Homo-oligomer: A and B are copies of this chain.
C-alpha cells in the first residue's frame, strides 16, 4: 500500500488542502476562502478543506499532515511570530490546528514548503543542493543542502526578502526595518512604487500600457515600460533587478548550489527579470561556483507548496 499525507497551503485569501501520494502526486484537493481571518476561524476553514480533500481520497490512509504558511515561524511547534497577510502576530497556530484536527501537524514556511515540493517532484528532482527564490507579493527563499532543507537554529532560515540591500536610508519594509530586498522587488512594493509614480504624474508609459487604468498596473507592465526606455519605470525596475540579481549571485557564491530555481508571481510574469538574474549570476558569482550550475523555473506552479508541506510531514 502506498503512503499518503495531507498537505495544506495557508495563504492570505484561501486555504487549500490536498491528499498527496508518496511520490508527490496530488490525489485530491479542496479550497476554501478565508472570510474571517481570526486564528479560530482560519483553523476551522482549514479543517473543513482537509475533511473534503480526505473524503475525496477514500482509500488513502493519511500518515502525516504538513502546513505551509506565509509567515515567520519560531521553534518546531508551529508558533507563528508574524504573518502579515493574515494579520497575525504570536499565534500558536500549530497547537490550535493539532487540537482541531486531532493529529500532529508540521507547520513550515510556505516558501520552504514550495522549495521542498520543487525538490521532490518538480524542478529540483534529482538535486541535493538547491537555492530556491520566490518573488511574489513578498520575497522568500529556501536552501536545500545535502538533500535536506536548511532551517536554521530556530527554523527561520531563508528570509531572503529581509536581507539589507540599501542599509543606509533604504525604503521602509513591511517588516518594520528598512532597506530590505523585499522593499524594492516584492510585488506589493513594486505596485506601491508604481502608484507613487502615478501620483507624481510621471506614469505616462505605465498608463499607456493599461488604457489609463492604474488598477491594472502589474510588475509585468512595469517591465514592459522599463524595457521601452521610460525613465520613470526604469527608476523603479532597475534598482529592483540590480539588487535582486546581485543578492542571488552572492548566494550562489556562498552556497554553491547545483541549481537555482526561480518562482513566484513576479518572476514567472517577468521574463526580462529572470534573464537579468541569469546575467547577474554569470557576472557576479565566482566562476568556480558556476561549474555545472543551472537555473530553472519552478515547475509545479501553485501546487509546489501543498506538495512540499505534505512531503515534509512524512
Contacts and interface: CB of A to CB of B under 8 A. Distances in A.
B152 A129 contact: yes
Contacts of A74: 288, 291
Contacts of A284: 164, 167, 177
Interface string A137-168: 00001010110101111111111101110010
A234 interface: no
Contacts of A175: 286
A10 to B, nearest CB: 18
| Copies of this chain in its oligomeric complex | 2
Nearest to A152: B256
B164 A250 contact: yes
A49 to B, nearest CB: 28
A193 interface: no
Contact of A255 (B150, B246, B258, B291): B150
Contacts of A160: 254
B242 A162 contact: no
Contacts of A153: 127-129, 256-258, 292-293
A167 B242 contact: yes
A154 B256 contact: yes
Contacts of A127: 153
Given A151-B256, A256-B156, A288 B164 contact: no
B255 A157 contact: yes
Contacts of A148: 145-146
22 contacts: A74-B288, A81-B288, A82-B288, A129-B152, A143-B254, A143-B255, A146-B148, A152-B289, A153-B257, A154-B292, A156-B256, A158-B256, A159-B253, A159-B286, A159-B288, A160-B254, A162-B286, A163-B253, A167-B284, A177-B284, A177-B286, A251-B254
Given A74-B288, A177-B284, 20 more contacts: A74-B291, A81-B288, A127-B153, A128-B153, A141-B254, A145-B145, A152-B289, A153-B257, A154-B256, A154-B258, A154-B292, A156-B286, A157-B254, A158-B254, A159-B288, A162-B286, A163-B253, A164-B284, A167-B284, A177-B286
